[in-house]
A and B are shown apart, each in its own frame.
Chain A
Amino acid sequence: MATREEGRGMLATYDVTKTDKRFIGAHILVAVIALSIGSLFGPLQAFQFSGVDLYPYLQPVFKSYYQGLTIHGVLNALVWTTFFITGFFTLTTILGFKRGLRYPKLNRVGFWTMVAGLVMAAIPILLDEATVLYTFYPPLQANWAFYTGLTLVVVGSWIEGYGFFFTYRAWRKENPDTRTPFIAFGGLVTMAMWQFATLGIAVEILTMLLPWSLGLIEGTDPQLARTYFWFTGHPLVYFWLLPAYVSWYGMLPKQAGGKLFSDSLARLAMWLFLLLSVPLGFHHQFVDPGIPAGWKYIHAVLTYSVFLPSMLTAFTVIASLERAARKRGGRGLFGWVRALPWSNGSVAAQLLAGILFMFGGIGGLTNASYNVNLVIHNTTWVPGHFHLTVASAATLSFMGISYWLVPWITGKPLWKPRLAVIQTWTWFIGMLIFSNAMHVLGLLGAPRRTPLGVAPYVSEEWSGHLLRVGLGGAILFVSAVMFVWIVARTTWGKERLGANEEIEVPIAESEQDPQLTPLWLDRWVPWIVGTVLLILVAYGPQLIDQIANIDLGSGQAPSIRPW
C-alpha cells in the first residue's frame, strides 16, 4: 500500500513499516465506517425535530426514533472515537519513540477484540434488541450480547493501552535520561486515565447488567448502576478530548509553521487531566435521588478544578499559534489569526474545532455548576453541549488529522484539498446553528432524548429553534458525507505520491529543550498514586454506602419491553 519513501523528512531516523501503517489504517477504516453509518441517523433525528419524520418510512428496518438515536450515539460517540483514538495513539507511540511496538501481536489482539466486541454489540442494536441508548440505564434491559460486546470493546482498548505501556518501558530502558517525547507521552497519559476510568462501567456490566440479562440475578440497583456508569461517563469525555489536545499541542504548531510554546505546561496539563478526570462524575448526577447533596457539591468543586488544565491548554495552544502566525507575517492584536494557514484543511479543521470548543467549555462550566444544573439537566442543552465537545473538539479535529493521516497511510495525495477546507467550514457553520438552537431549546425547557416533532407539550416559542435544529443537522450531514467521500476517494484513488512528495507527519518541536522540563513532569509514580488517592477520597465513601445498601429488587426488567 505504502511506498518506502514515506515517513522521511524530519523523521529520517525512523521509517514506519508498511505493516504498522496498515495496522493504523485498519483502525481508521473501522472508525470512518462507524462514523458514516452513525451519521446517517443524525439528520433523521434533527429533521424529526423540525417536523419531517422519516422514521415511518424506515419501519421495515429501523423501528423507532430511539433505535436510530441508539445507533447514532453508540457508533459516533463510542466506536468512531475509540477506534480513531487507538489508531492515532499507535502512530504517536511509534513515531514518538521512533521504535516499533514492543509486542505488536498484543496490540493486534487488542484491535481484534475491539472489532469482535463491535460486531457483537451491533447485532442486537440493529435487531432492535438493545434500544437502550448509549447510557443503557437499567432497568431498561438489552440483549446480553450488547453488554458483552461493549465489554470486549473496552477490554480491547485496555490491551492496546498495555501495548503502548510495554513499548514505553522498552524505550525507557534504551533511553534512561531522555524526556518522554510529547506526542507519545500524551497518548500514554490518556490510555492510563482510560484504564482507571473504565473500571466503573466494567464493574457495572460484569456484576450487574450481564448476569441480569442472562437471568442469573433478579434485578439491578438503578442508582448504583448510574454511579458506576458516570464514574466512566465523565472521563470518557477526556478520552475523546485528550487525543485532540495531543494534536493541538504536539502537531498543530508544526502545521502552522511554529513550535510548541511551553513543553512543561503542556505536560502539566496532561498530568492534571489524569489526576482530575475521574473523581467528579457526580456532576452528571446532580438530580439523582440517591446521592447526598454534600457529595454532589464536592464533585462540583472538583469539576471546577479541571477547568484549570483546560485554561492552560487554551493559553499554550493559542500562544503557539500566535507565534507561528507572527512568523508568517501576521500582525495586530487579533489580526494575526488571518496569517494562519487556513487554506490547509487539516489546520482549518483543528482551528475551527478549537473555536467551537471554547463555547463547549463555557457550557460545560454551566453544567458543572451544581444548582445551576437544575435549569438545563436532561434538556436539549446537554446534547447541544456535547456536540461541541465530542462532535466538534474531538470529531472535527480527528477529521483534520485524517487529512494528513490518510495520505500518509496510503501513500496517495489528498483528494481535492480545497474541498477539505469547505468540509471543515460546513461542519463549523452547521454545528453553530445546530448547537445554538439546541442550547436555546434547552433553556426553554425542551427535554433531550425526545422526538419533539410528536411531543404534545411543544410550545409555539420552540418552533423556530426546532427548524434551526433541522437546518444545522442537514448542513452537518452534507459535511459528514464530504468527509467520508474525501477519505474514500483518497484511499481508493489511482494517483500515488511521487518519491519527493512524501507526507511528513507533523511533529512540533518545543521552544524550550524538553530536557529542561523538570523531572517531576516525567515521573509516573507520584501522579498515579495521587490519582488513586483522589478517586478513593471522592468516590470511596459513596461507593461503600451504595454497595452496602444495594437493592437488586428495585430494578427489575418490566414484564413488557417498553420499546
Chain B
Amino acid sequence: MSAPNDAKRTLHIDPYEKNWMRISIILVIVFAAAVTVAGFALGFQVPSPEERVDPNNLTGPWENPGLRELSPGVYELYVIGNATTWQFEPRDVEIPVDSTVTIYVTSRDIQHGFKLQDTNINMQILPGQVSKLTHVFEEAGEYPYICTEYCGVGHAAMFGNLTVVEK
C-alpha cells in the first residue's frame, strides 16, 4: 500500500474491457444516429414552444375549441383540458380518413396529459402553454385520447374520442 505517489501513472485497462467499451460507444452512436435521422430527416418530432396563453382568459380559437378545416383534408384541432369537469373540450371529434390534423392543446387550470392512442401524439398539457403536434390519419377507426397526467380525483375518467371515418 505504500507505492510512490506518481502522477504519471497511466490508466491500466483490461483488453476485454477496452473492447467492451468500444462496443458500448458504437451502440450509443448507432442509437443517437437512429433518433437523429428519425427526428430530423423523417419528421418524428417532439413538441416545441408554440405560444403562451392566459389560462384565465382563453381567447381566439380557444373560445370555440374543436375542429377547423383549413383546406381540403387539412385540419387543426383545438383541445382544452378541464379539471373541474375532468373532461376534454371537445369530447368527440370526427374526421375523414387521410386527413392531416395539427392538434393544439392547453389547460384551463392544472396539468393534464394528452395521449392519442395508436399514434405518436403524446403531449404534456400545461396552463399558460400551448402544446402542438401533427398527425396524418391513414386508417379509419376509433382513436381515444386519454389524460395521462394526474389532475385530481376524476382523472381516470378523463378521455375523448377521435373517430376517423371512411370518405
Q: Which A residues contact B (CB, under 8 angstroms)?
A: 64, 66, 133, 137, 139-140, 177-178, 221-223, 226, 261-262, 264-265, 268, 285-293, 296-297, 300-301, 304-305, 307-308, 311-312, 315-316, 319, 365, 369-375, 377-379, 445, 447-452, 454-457, 512-521, 549, 551, 553-556, 558, 560-563
Contacts and interface: CB of A to CB of B under 8 A. Distances in A.
B32 interface: yes
A558 B157 contact: no
Contact of A287 (B12, B28, B122, B157): B122
B49 interface: yes
B146 A289 contact: no
A457 B159 contact: yes
Interface string B114-132: 0101101111111111111
Given A457-B146, A513-B3, A519-B5, 13 more contacts: A222-B127, A226-B124, A264-B12, A287-B113, A287-B124, A287-B131, A292-B49, A304-B28, A316-B17, A370-B35, A378-B149, A456-B159, A562-B109
Nearest to A222: B126
Interface string B96-138: 0000000000000111010101101111111111111000000
A207 B24 CA distance: 41
A133 B17 CA distance: 42
B1 A445 contact: no
B122 A375 contact: yes
A316 B155 CA distance: 45
B108 to A, nearest CB: 9
A221 to B, nearest CB: 7
Contacts of B150: 66, 133, 140, 449-450
Contacts of A549: 52
B17 A265 contact: yes
B35 A556 contact: no
A319 B49 contact: no
Contact of A518 (B10, B28, B32): B10
Contacts of A307: 24, 27-28
Which 8 residue pairs across A and B have the least CB separation, nearest first? A554-B128, A562-B152, A378-B148, A515-B3, A289-B131, A447-B148, A311-B24, A289-B129
A374 to B, nearest CB: 5
Contacts of B83: 558, 562
9 contacts: A66-B155, A223-B129, A226-B126, A262-B12, A262-B17, A374-B44, A518-B10, A554-B52, A556-B56
Interface size class of chain B, counting residues whose CB lies under 8 Å from the partner chain: 35 or more
Contacts of A292: 48-49
A177 B7 CA distance: 11
B26 to A, nearest CB: 11
Given A373-B46, A374-B122, A450 B9 contact: no
B71 interface: no
A312 B126 contact: no
Contacts of B4: 515
A63 to B, nearest CB: 9
Contacts of A553: 54, 56, 128
Interface string B74-113: 0000000001100000000000000000000000011101
A423 B166 CA distance: 56
B27 to A, nearest CB: 8
B65 interface: no
A516 B8 CA distance: 10
B152 A563 contact: yes
B120 A371 contact: yes
B118 A445 contact: yes
A66 B151 CA distance: 10
A378 B13 contact: no
Interface in B37-68: 38-39, 44-50, 52, 54-56
A359 B113 CA distance: 27
Contacts of B113: 287, 378, 447
B22 to A, nearest CB: 11
Nearest to A379: B148
Contacts of B154: 562
